[in-house]
Structure 1
Amino acid sequence: MNVTVDQLDALQELINIGVGRAASLLNEMVDSHIRLEIPFVKVLTATQAYQELANRFHDASLSSVKLNFTGSFYGTAGLIFPTESASTLVAVLTGEEAGSADLDAVKIGTLSEIGNIVINGVMGSISNVLKQHMNYTIPVYLEDKIDNLLLSDNANNTTKILLAQARFAIEQLELIGDIILIFEVGTFDALIKAINKELAV
């Protein structure tokens, strides 16, 4: 199913609503003002998504928080960002010095919580606006290269991947991460149909 400009705009708006809610929650947790923005959203095949992310990250070690969702739509949602940026983000949020041993100890828990808030914000937005029910698993934290993070989902070229770049702005510090939503093709079509129904209202 090809995605029209209106459908893509609707997807971007749903994600923007979700990250806006996530930013509000994160702001309540920390002293720093956090702004989350979505410069672009793309719908890609698994191969296209892999090529785009591989070109951007090359052989870099990445931090990822992923969870599975089921219900009206099913698949995997993940927040991926370079490990160095992840460490900087955690340092800002926790007050720990970058590079300290204590930082490593709190990094996994902090990133899992950030990922959980952002992903649930986005999925909750999709679920609420489109009036569709979804269930989520507990988020899992991983550090690996993009080959293993993306392809471990058994994604193939019938899998549609919704790739949204999320830009984190924290005071004067700007960090970039990617929100990756993976839908099996049947449920991606169901998502587009739900969006069409909402656009027609």
Structure 2
Amino acid sequence: MSMMSGGVLLSDLEHDALTEIVNIGVSRAASSLRKMVGEEVLLSVPSIEIMAPQNAARLIGERETDSLVAIQQQFEGAFSGRALLIFPEATSFDLVKAIIGNDVPPEQIVEMEQEALAETGNIILNGCLATMANMLKRSLNISLPEVIRGDGMRLFTDAHESSDEGLVLFLYINFSVRNRDIRGYIAMLMDLPSLSALKELIACFIDRVMGDEA
């Protein structure tokens, strides 16, 4: 199945390569989180899709009735955009509890929540983006994380972005920490030139890998 999206089409091979790269990124992020939490953290990205922002917003709205919490970082370089790590609100509280540990009283968790979320988002998104850049032999500048709350529409439609121009690289993540299963999403919003640049870099990456194996 190939994914058609506003003229940027990833071949099956490119799609598989991107999924592989992203999984290496999140597994690196998982080992950084493991150091922070002091326990096993499992992270994987079972699937990646490319879609219009409004479709991503609708999809997340259908799956998650709870309000959403996202950690957002801007990235720029060979390809630019913004990355979001998104959790349903209840899940984000679970995640924070898992990270901070059970011996912290609930009223303190609320105070620490913002910071713990920003730090987790930073580790996961940075792990993902930095690994992608690294494997594609490019570098990215990544901004500091900010925590935002709202529904899918608010998260995916930014006042500065013209929504008809951009696309979302939408990644489901499976996340387990201290035996809690936490579901979330990573979304990378990019305009078409950035997505085309990414596609070209993936094609070069595939050529390099294939060249090494030949």
Q: Verify same fold: TM over 0.5.
A: yes
User: 2:40 and 2:58 mapped to 1: Cα distance?
Assistant: 33
Q: What is the 5 A alignment of 1:1-201? A: 1-58=8-65, 60-96=66-102, 100-152=106-158, 154-201=161-208
TM-score normalized with structure 2 length = 0.89
Contact 1:96 1:102 in 2 (8 A): no
Change (3 A) 1:119 1:99: same
User: 2:143 and 2:128 mapped to 1: Cα distance?
Assistant: 15
Contact 2:58 2:152 in 1 (8 A): no
Q: Percent same amino acid at aligned positions?
A: 26
Shift of 1:157: 2.9
**Partner of 2:201: helix, strand, or coil?**
helix
User: 1:181 and 1:144 mapped to 2: Cα distance?
Assistant: 17
User: 1:99 and 1:63 mapped to 2: Cα distance?
Assistant: 21
Shift of 1:98: 8.5
Uncovered stretches (5+) of structure 2, i.e. residues with no partner: 1-7, 209-214
Once the two structures are superposed, residues 109-159 of structure 1 have per-residue CA deviations (whole angstroms, 9 ceiling, x without a partner) of 001000000000010111100011211111111121222111126351321
Shift of 1:39: 1.2
The aligned length equals 200
Change (3 A) 1:98 1:50: farther
**Partner of 1:39: helix, strand, or coil?**
coil
TM-score normalized with structure 1 length = 0.94
Contact 2:54 2:153 in 1 (8 A): no
Shift of 1:99: 8.1
Letter in 1 for 2:137: K
User: 1:28 and 1:155 mapped to 2: Cα distance?
Assistant: 39
Shift of 1:22: 0.4
Change (3 A) 1:62 1:194: same
Shift of 1:190: 0.4
**Partner of 2:46: helix, strand, or coil?**
strand
Shift of 1:21: 0.5
Contact 2:79 2:194 in 1 (8 A): yes
Change (3 A) 1:98 1:180: farther
Letter in 1 for 2:47: F
Stretches of 4+ aligned residues off by more than 6 angstroms: none
Letter in 1 for 2:181: E
Change (3 A) 1:162 1:155: farther
Contact 1:37 1:168 in 2 (8 A): yes
Contact 1:97 1:103 in 2 (8 A): no
